Amino acid sequence: MKIKPQAPEILRIPYDAFDVSVLPSTAREPGSEAFDNAVLIYFAAKYAAKNFDAAVTCSDGIIRVLAWARGGLEPKAYVVGLLQHRALAEALPLLETMDEMMDDADIAYNRGICLSEMGRLEACIAPLERCLRIDPSYGNARVGLGVALMRLGRSQEAEQVLRKALAAEPQNHFAARNLAAVLANLEKYAEAVPLLHQVLAMAPDDPTASLALGECLETLGPVQKKQAIEVYKRIMRRFADTPLADAAVAGLNRLANADLHRGGVDQPRLDAIMYMQDTLKRFADLPQQEVGQIVLEIAQLGQSGLAVNDPGKRYHLKTLPGDFSGLELVSMMHVGVLMFEPNAEMQTGLDREYEMAVSLGDFRQFGYRSV
């Protein structure tokens, strides 16, 4: 039988809640060097008696203690294991305490990505920025920061961050793909095209990039029409009998009529596909009852209308941490309802986007950094 590793212990004790009587009488003044040293010795001895090692810091009016069993997994390895098994809520308190106790770029990065995957986009920005202060060359942190800013509707900031990421690492596939998405959102289609070509040179079977390239070329008018047709035909060959092929057919139909334009009724929404892929992963880890509560709350919120075309307008749920755009909530509700009633007739207008999200599978952009 496989034995589950013993979890590290964490303590966060405000100075005014700590019993200073356990310290020498000459070391009871919080904030003094004597106090800090005495606290360290006290907790080190306390945990040594349990056969634990302990790290202790005193700062900002708080005593922080991180202790782990000798011979067992050290905290950094333990928390990465939690993240890899999607135990995000269990990992986050450890990451927060460790990030406050040490200047470790990997810990700051993992904390930021953990918050991002929990939907707490605003909160994930500070640890990712902290990671980059510790290690300015940490490429994945810069890409993660750019993606978070993009999903918050802060596309111009995201563009600058992702440009820096790509300049530092020209072959970074994720930086190129996400910068292309930001440029498309900003209607800078001509600038997005060479980036999408770069992505597909590195990952020819990237379906999201393939469809995005066709759409960007399509917007550039007659000059790029031939290239757009070739891209859509390639999608039909590579992804035959999938919703992606249907989207390519719709693209060819649009190109056949010069009066149709970007954003027409046949145009799939790539942002909705992305939100649905995220939701499919998130809901797979939740109990059915919890998913039902989330869907019900979104439906109730939607009775007063959701601003699906304004990513800057954010909404909060009682049943799920983070803040969300209107389109993200509608996408989430669409996925949730169909988990309960696969044959339900949805009125969101996102049926094709849902089929594409399901067919594309799991295209996780970031992994947690092993340490």
Summarised one tens digit per residue, pLDDT across range 231-258 is 988 888 888 878 888 888 778 767 754 4
Residue 121 pLDDT exceeds 70: yes
Residue 314 belongs to a domain = yes
Residue 335 belongs to a domain = yes
Which residue range forms the structural domain that includes residue 287? 273-360
Quick one: 290 and 254 in the same domain?
A: no
Residue 142 belongs to a domain = no
Q: pLDDT per residue over 139-196, tens digit each?
A: 999 999 999 999 998 999 999 999 999 999 999 989 999 999 999 989 999 999 999 9
**What local confidence, expressed as pLDDT, does residue 351 receive?**
86
Quick one: 220 and 299 in the same domain?
A: no
Into how many domains does the chain fold?
Answer: 3
Quick one: 249 and 285 in the same domain?
A: no
Which residue blocks in 169-206 are alpha helix, DSSP H?
173-185, 189-202
Q: Which of 30, 53, 69 is the last residue of a domain?
A: 69
Range with lowest mean pLDDT among 24-28, 157-161, 182-186, 273-277 = 273-277
Q: Which of 69, 90, 108 is the last residue of a domain?
A: 69
Residue 93 belongs to a domain = no
- Higher-confidence residue of 227 and 251: namely 227
Q: Which of 40, 69, 98 is the last residue of a domain?
A: 69
Residue 90 belongs to a domain = no
Which pair of tokens denotes residue 262? 């970007």
Quick one: 297 and 349 in the same domain?
A: yes
Q: Checking phi first, is residue 339 left (phi over 0); if not, alpha (psi -120 to 50) or beta?
A: alpha
**What local confidence, expressed as pLDDT, does residue 249 receive?**
78
**What local confidence, expressed as pLDDT, does residue 370 receive?**
43
Question: Which residues contact residue 169 at a Cβ distance below 8 angstroms, ignoring those fewer than 6 apart?
Answer: 139, 175
Quick one: 278 and 346 in the same domain?
A: yes
Which pair of tokens denotes residue 150? 């993009």
CA separation (Å) from 265 to 350, 352, 353? 11, 12, 13
Residue 133 belongs to a domain = no
Quick one: 214 and 288 in the same domain?
A: no
Which pair of tokens denotes residue 146? 């750019």
Strand pairing category for 323-324 and 62-69? unpaired
Quick one: 226 and 299 in the same domain?
A: no
Quick one: 277 and 356 in the same domain?
A: yes
Query: What's the pTM?
Result: 0.66
Residue 141 belongs to a domain = no
**What local confidence, expressed as pLDDT, does residue 128 receive?**
97
Which pair of tokens denotes residue 233? 């035909």
Quick one: 292 and 321 in the same domain?
A: yes
Question: CA 77, CA 110: separation in Å to the nearest integer?
Answer: 12
Quick one: 341 and 293 in the same domain?
A: yes
Quick one: 301 and 262 in the same domain?
A: no
Residue 351 belongs to a domain = yes
Query: How crowded is residue 198: how many other Cβ atoms within 10 Å of its Cβ?
Result: 21
